A and B are shown apart, each in its own frame.
Chain A
Amino acid sequence: NAGVTQTPKFQVLKTGQSMTLQCAQDMNHEYMSWYRQDPGMGLRLIHYSVGAGITDQGEVPNGYNVSRSTTEDFPLRLLSAAPSQTSVYFCASSYSLFLDRPSSYNSPLHFGNGTRLTVT
């Protein structure tokens, strides 16, 4: 199992350019999400999906689009990159967050190793 794979590892964009950050998981997880990590800000949820065809907004969704056409893939699209989107982006997946709750929680998020994006 590769787990959660993110590509690319590094990317530099100019303001206004668009790009897609790829995320794929091979664990048959229903739930997938995107976070960004900024200094002093921790991990902030951008978008998430509870299954193929279903997506929803997190804490900081503006400037990003997502889609979930398959269980395995959850790409994050920047339509017009801005310097404020310079960050490290993490994709994460798990089985349904409702599984076995609340008596036990054995389905934690599995994170990829991140994509470091710089927008100049």
Chain B
Amino acid sequence: DQQVKQNSPSLSVQEGRISILNCDYTNSMFDYFLWYKKYPAEGPTFLISISSIKDKNEDGRFTVFLNKSAKHLSLHIVPSQPGDSAVYFCAASEGDDKIIFGKGTRLHILP
């Protein structure tokens, strides 16, 4: 029973364009959402987060949007750069101590 779903295993985007990564969740009790980025042979690193009391959070080129009614969040990267090529994980927590991750989306930035 997958509570955090990233339905696109991979995504290719031209350098300079917008990358949009999507995430859906099933647990309506989730109140915190995070995005992590992972390069090969390294641990994931935190990118950006959003509380359920907000619908948008920005940090430089990265913006996360939350649609609670649709149980959907997305990560926008503008403009996309070659160093953004990585696997992106969506994660959520529900007020206890567990952070549940999705399966990840591999982003390829094309020159």
Contacts and interface: CB of A to CB of B under 8 A. Distances in A.
Contacts of A44: 101
B97 A50 contact: yes
Interface in B88-107: 89, 91, 93, 95, 97-104
Contact of B99 (A41, A97, A112, A114): A97
Contacts of A101: 31-32, 51, 95
Interface in B10-31: 31
Nearest to A114: B43
A42 B23 CA distance: 13
A13 B59 CA distance: 43
B45 A103 contact: no
Contacts of B34: 105, 108
Contacts of B49: 105, 108
B46 A109 contact: yes
B44 A111 contact: yes
B43 A113 contact: yes
Nearest to A43: B101
Contacts of B98: 45, 48, 58-59
A33 B101 CA distance: 13
A62 interface: no
A contact residues, range: 20 to 34
Contacts of A114: 41-43
A92 B101 contact: no
Given A102-B51, A103-B53, A111 B103 contact: no
Interface string B68-111: 00000000000000000000010101010111111110000000
A17 B27 CA distance: 38
Nearest to A38: B103
Interface string B33-64: 01010000111111001011100000000000
Given A97-B93, A102-B53, A103-B53, A42 B43 contact: no
Interface string A81-112: 00000000010100001000111110011111
B43 A102 contact: no
B43 A92 contact: yes
